[in-house]
Amino acid sequence: MAWNESGDGNDPKGPRDPKDPWGGRDQGPADLDKIIRDWQRRLRSAFGGKGGGGGGGPAGGNTGIAIIIVLALVAWGLTGLYRVDEAERGLVLRFGDYQATTMPGLHWHIPYPIETVEKVNVGAVSRFEQTSQMLTGDENFVLVDLAVQYRRIDPIAFRFNVRNADETLDEVSESAIREVVGKSTLDEILLENQAEIADRTQDLIQRTLDLYEAGITVISVNLQKVQFPNQVRDAVQDAVKAREDKERLRLEAEAYRNDIIPRARGQAARMREDALAYRDRLIANAEGEAARFELLLAEYQAAPEVTRERLYIESIEDVLQRSNKILLDAEGSGNLLYLPIDKLLQRQTRGAEGDGGSAAQSTTSSLPQMREQSDPRNRDDARTRRTR
């Protein structure tokens, strides 16, 4: 029989398997139900089920489905494992409702969508910067660059008390710096109290966050840069120059004060000491004069005439020592001469100062001439008076 002849079903490639849906090149399309049954049989064989008749098909299918469901549940349960780092805290939410806070380590929760875990970093220091244009207390525009450092200390309050705590902190910081700058002058912001302004801003931010119970603590607030808008830059520079001149003049005035006040105090102390010394000297002189008077009184009471004469002589001696004296030899002349002795002495003194004493020599030479021109009778009368 030919190889391609039908009859006994021989085929050079071997006998066809009646259970093979794809056996026979001359057959039509395989039956879909048969393909499904074949795959079910294979699955039952793989999971230890019994093959064969149609009576065991449904039971074997249920077993495979159960195993698949179990594997899916195990995989779903493994998705509930999570790890919390050292600086974090885990918040377990069941259908959005807070259940517990987990500490660092490996934990498990009922997988999504029943429970979810949100991790909040409570150890890291976060930082943000903002630039705002605002008006100072003396109506000047400034651009302030603010840097804020903060830390999340309460994960529950941070997550549930405020909808978006980080965004809220940004808005609170801007509001606080506007309030503080609005109560400060341009001089305080630029030259004097930037550190104080930063401290006041930090205190105001922290008080507002505590009022909101945001679970955030502000570590530091820094004014990194304070600038001016371009529209007012020239005017502000003039104002800054005027403030610098004011500061320079103030320092010069303080230097002058520091120089003149100690000097005046020294002069006052010297005058006070001189006054005290003068007082002590006057008192000592008065006490000495009083003691001398008492001694003279005792001497006078013992010998009045002798003491009176001695006091007279001492007084005359003292007067003559302090007065100018001119001695004239008028012997042999009877005329009473009146000479302006004081004027002559003054002229002699001026002449000695002016031409080295020439006037004094002429005055001295004029005296003998005056005596020679006097009347001899006057000299005789004077001699007679002296004899008497």
Which of the listed residues 227, 257, 288 is the one where a domain comes to its end? Answer: 227
For residues 109 and 139, membership in a common domain is answered with no
Q: Is residue 236 domain-resident?
A: no
Does residue 78 have a pLDDT over 60? yes
Q: What is the mean pLDDT of residues 30-53?
A: 64
* Mean pLDDT calculated for residue range 204-213: 91
- Rank 107-111, 201-205, 228-232 by mean pLDDT and report only the highest: 201-205
Angle between helices 233-302 and 304-321 (to 10 degrees): 140
Residue 13 lies in a domain: no
Q: Which residue has the higher pLDDT, 46 or 176?
A: 176
Average pLDDT over residues 66-70: 83
| Domain final position from 227, 247, 279 | 227
User: Which carries the bigger pLDDT value, residue 155 or residue 363?
Assistant: 155
Tens digits of residue pLDDT in 246-256: 989 999 999 99
Distance CA(143)–CA(232), nearest Å, equals 12
Does 146 map to a domain? Answer: yes
- Extract long-range pairs of 92-101: CB within 8 Å, 24+ residues apart: 92/116, 92/117, 93/117, 93/118, 98/156, 98/159, 98/160, 101/155, 101/156
Output the pLDDT for position 45: 66
Mean pLDDT of 80-84: 86
Co-location of 154 and 173 in the same domain: yes
Secondary structure letter of residue 21 according to DSSP? T
- 280 belongs to a structural domain: no
113 and 136, same domain (yes or no): no
More confident residue, 33 or 277: 277
131 & 218 share domain: yes
Can you give the pLDDT at residue 12? 44
In a domain, 131, yes or no: yes
**For the residues 382-386, what does the mean pLDDT come to?**
43
Task: Indicate whether 114 and 200 sit together in one domain.
Answer: no
Same domain, 117 and 130: no
Residue 250 maps to a domain: no
pLDDT at 161: 87
pLDDT at 99: 85
**148 and 103 co-located in one domain:** no
Examine the fold and report which residue of 227, 256, 291 is the final residue of a domain before the chain moves on: 227
Angle between helices 358-372 and 341-355 (to 10 degrees): 150
pLDDT of 361 reads: 47
Residues shown for the chain: 388
Query: Are residue 136 and residue 62 in the same domain, yes or no?
Result: no
Number of structural domains in the chain: 4
- Residue 191 falls within a domain, yes or no? yes
Q: How confident is the model at residue 373 (pLDDT cuts 50, 70, 90)?
A: very low
- What's the pTM? 0.46
21: pLDDT confidence band, cut at 50, 70 and 90?
very low
Range of the domain at 98: 81-121
> How many other C-beta atoms can be found within 10 angstroms of the C-beta atom of residue 74?
9
Domain match, 221 and 143 both: yes
Higher pLDDT, 146 or 11: 146
Q: How confident is the model at residue 278 (pLDDT cuts 50, 70, 90)?
A: very high
Tell which wins on pLDDT, 221 or 40.
221
Q: Is there a domain that residue 159 lies in?
A: yes
* Residue 141's CATH number: 3.30.479.30
pLDDT at 296: 84
Are 99 and 138 found together in one domain?
no
Is 174's pLDDT higher than 70?
A: yes
Report the percent of the chain where pLDDT is more than 70.
71
98 and 53 in one domain? no
Q: Which pLDDT value is given to residue 285?
A: 94
Q: In whole numbers, what is the pLDDT of the chain averaged over residues?
A: 76
Q: Which stretches does DSSP call E strand in 181-235? A: 216-227
Residue 178 CB contacts under 8 Å (≥ 6 apart), including other chains:
132, 134
- Given a cut of 70, whether residue 13 has pLDDT beyond it is no
The token duo for 385 is: 């008076």
Structure confidence at residue 335 (pLDDT): 58
Nearest to 190 by CA among 249, 229, 136: 136
Residues 133, 215 share a domain? yes
Q: Which residue has the tokens 């660059």?
A: 145
> What's residue 10's pLDDT?
47
* Residues 110-139, mean pLDDT to the nearest whole number: 86
**Residue, of 276 and 342, whose pLDDT is higher:** 276
